[in-house]
Structure 1
């Protein structure tokens, strides 16, 4: 066999091996979501060179009663992702639209225990456990899936302003901070998405990005 023919035959035989190695290395689709709420920028030395690395905020713990009266903490949300929002039951406009959109999210991930919803009231003086129980029933909240939380006003204000970094809208009553934003929180308790909860297209994007996070977790070899 001539050298040229031998080379061609060798390449033909090698192609399947190269294709396999390519697919094994690069064949898994990965989608990178941004991370929000930066805390600081650190400098680290890698290979003799200094590199700047952004450190993002990790949400702190809380301990608040839900609509059932059971105390809920960050530990109840471990192992998966959750969608957080701030509302109050007497809110006439944005809150009902936002919670109606959250019903769609709940239904989409009804059978996936890794996805939960957390709605913090910003008016705990009115929104007692009993009031939240009736409110949650209105939106079909599934027990253990969608938590409506109340509690100490100072603690809720801290969560809104220090953890999620909300600012009081102009004209709001003192100590009242609310927003029509929805926040996607990953399993490391970092905010990975912020959405306008009153807009259907934004909630479609939220649903897609929840699916992306779950897909990445399912294919994350480092966590196995």
Structure 2
């Protein structure tokens, strides 16, 4: 049975994901563009060799640790964008991501990667204080800061963040999105979810388990 969820928020299409569910098997699509058109590929397909992947990156988290793509090697992770002084959607998204954190506490295969979109003010010290005030566990949830151009470039060109706004933005335009992206152990985008919506986040949690099962099957 094909399951598709489309969430409307603030007058525009804010999140879309579609997964294929069968009685004995589940599969998630792959995405490679800002349109988030699903590509239904086998995890061993030759097409994946040249498919879109999150590129190399280097940021600093709330503990002062360097976080790169190697830190997340063979991990499943959820990518998001925020800033510590955000009074609007960020606290709601944070509470939803806390659900994800608590669901996979102690699971070495799952991580959350939240990028500050105000890196010049969100220093390591501020991120650490923010993490402590909001019960964010640094062992599986990285709040990262770094060069603004690097964060905005990877957000727009790799994660396709803010594409749902329907407005072309300049490179340094303020970036704000409620979307959460699910990245698999090969750094492929496998889902996009509305971080303001409980049902959408419940599907995210379920889809993380699908990727865990997919990873386990690939080891057999």
Q: Compute the TM-score of the two structures, normalised by the length of structure 2.
A: 0.76
Residue equivalent to 2:44:
none
Partner SS state of residue 84, structure 2: coil
28-37 or 174-183, which deviates more: 28-37
After TM superposition, give the deviation of residue 107 of structure 1 in Å: 0.5
After TM superposition, give the deviation of residue 116 of structure 1 in Å: 0.3
Alignment of 1:91-170 (within 5 A): 91-167=86-162
Verify: 1:35 aligned to 2:30, yes or no. Answer: yes
CA RMSD of aligned residues (A): 2.4
After TM superposition, give the deviation of residue 136 of structure 1 in Å: 1.3
Q: Which has the higher contact order (CA 8 A, sep 6+)?
A: 2
After TM superposition, give the deviation of residue 139 of structure 1 in Å: 2.2
Partner SS state of residue 203, structure 2: helix
Residue equivalent to 2:213:
215
State which of 48, 53, 64 in structure 2 corresponds to 1:58.
53
Residue equivalent to 2:190:
192
Tell me, in whole angstroms, the C-alpha distance in 2 between the residues paired with 1:187 and 1:167.
Answer: 24
Residue equivalent to 1:72:
67
- The answer (yes or no) to whether the contact 1:38–1:56 under 8 Å persists in 2 is no
Tell me, in whole angstroms, the C-alpha distance in 2 between the residues paired with 1:149 and 1:183.
Answer: 16
Partner SS state of residue 195, structure 1: strand
Counterparts in 2 of 1:198 and 1:167: CA distance versus 1, 3 Å: closer
Per-residue Cα deviation, 1:54-108 (whole angstroms, up to 9, x for no partner) = 8531000111110111111011111220000011112112111001110110110
Count of residues in Structure 1 that have an aligned counterpart in Structure 2: 183
Q: Compute the TM-score of the two structures, normalised by the length of structure 1.
A: 0.75
Alignment of 1:2-17 (within 5 A): none
Per-residue Cα deviation, 1:23-78 (whole angstroms, up to 9, x for no partner) = xxxxx932110111249xxxxxxxxxxxxx68531000111110111111011111
